[in-house]
Amino acid sequence: ATPISIMVASGRGAQQGLLFKDAAAIETMREADTLVVDKTGTLTEGKPSLTSIVPFDQHRRAELLALAASLERSSEHPLAKAILAAAKEEQIDVADARDFHVLNGGGVSGRVGQSEVVFGNARLMQQHGIDLDQETQAKADALRGDGATVMMLAIDGKTSGLFAVSDRIKPDTPQAIAELKASGMRIVMLTGDNAVTARSVARDLGIEEVHADVSPTGKAAVIETLRKQGRRVAMAGDGINDAPALAAADVGIAMGHGTDVAIESAQLTLVKGSLTGILHARSLSQATVRNIR
């Protein structure tokens, strides 16, 4: 493309809330035949709210919420905000946690008072050697039915309760996905969340291909596999956990409300945080390249 046509395109893009990092990104958009999308914060609002807590054994709801909130105070994750908002609303005293650790795309752990607390997904529980019995799994799956994200809380090595949060699909996501599919793009969902939750959201959106329970490096590996199969891959995401995948794609696309790391790893930022921007970016790319030839 000529420097002039690229300049025109990036100016027009900026007006529509499409920030391209370089000329290559503008040219590559039209060639992308596969769009990989993160779930939380990309297809959904990324503003989850706590819908239920299921305490096990003698544990009480307020106790579990207090422990989870203590750990989440040190986390930047949208799920952390949901927990802290609920604790605040219920006027629960939140203690300081010590020895705090984050597993990106997994959850948080640390010491609260005398207890060793682990809060997050199955991958995190496995990492801490915490056993998930069938009853726990069944209870979790029951909560996941309509797209809720379930987190498990373990105290001193034993699962002590489940937390369900739900996050609405962005109003313009269904139409954007339908139009991207109609334009011939292959759509793949890639998420660190559980398969039952992921499939429920995918079903609502008509997305047939789903990779769930994927770690941040696993996300990048999926992109690399698609590229090795000859696909031209655009990847849209918002989180720290998406950064390696955004960097691995032919075009990384960050949501404008996303984390700085995601925006830095991407070649295109959608200021409005709507997937409709991808349709506009493709039209712009097609028009630009057509003009040059």
Q: Which residues carry out catalysis?
A: 38
Helical (H) or strand (E) element with 223? helix 216-228
Rounded CA separation 208/225 (Å): 18
Secondary structure (3-state) at 25? helix
Residues 6+ apart with CB under 8 A from 18: 268, 269, 270, 271, 277, 280, 281, 284
**Residue 152, beta-bridge partner list:** 120, 162
> Which of the choices Mg ion, ligand ADP, none does residue 147 contact, using the CB cut-off of 5 to 8 A by kind?
none
Residues 6+ apart with CB under 8 A from 172: 274, 275, 276
* CB 167, CB 44: distance < 8 Å: yes
Helical (H) or strand (E) element with 195? helix 195-205
Residues 6+ apart with CB under 8 A from 14: none
Residue 193 binds ligand ADP (CB under 6 A):
yes
List the interface residues with Mg ion, window 22-61 (CB under 5 A): 38, 40-41
Residue 239 binds ligand ADP (CB under 6 A):
yes
- Taking contact as CB under 6 A, which single stretch among the options 25-33, 75-83, 200-208, 282-290 is the one that binds ligand ADP? 75-83
Binding-residue pattern over the window 21 to 60 for ligand ADP, x denoting contact by CB under 6 A: -----------------xxxx-------------------
- Taking contact as CB under 6 A, which single stretch among the options 56-64, 109-117, 185-193, 277-285 is the one that binds ligand ADP? 185-193
List the interface residues with Mg ion, window 234-263 (CB under 5 A): 238-239
List the interface residues with ligand ADP, window 115-134 (CB under 6 A): 119-121
Q: Which of 45, 84, 87, 107 touches ligand ADP by CB under 6 A?
A: 107
> Which of the choices ligand ADP, Mg ion, none does residue 108 contact, using the CB cut-off of 5 to 8 A by kind?
ligand ADP
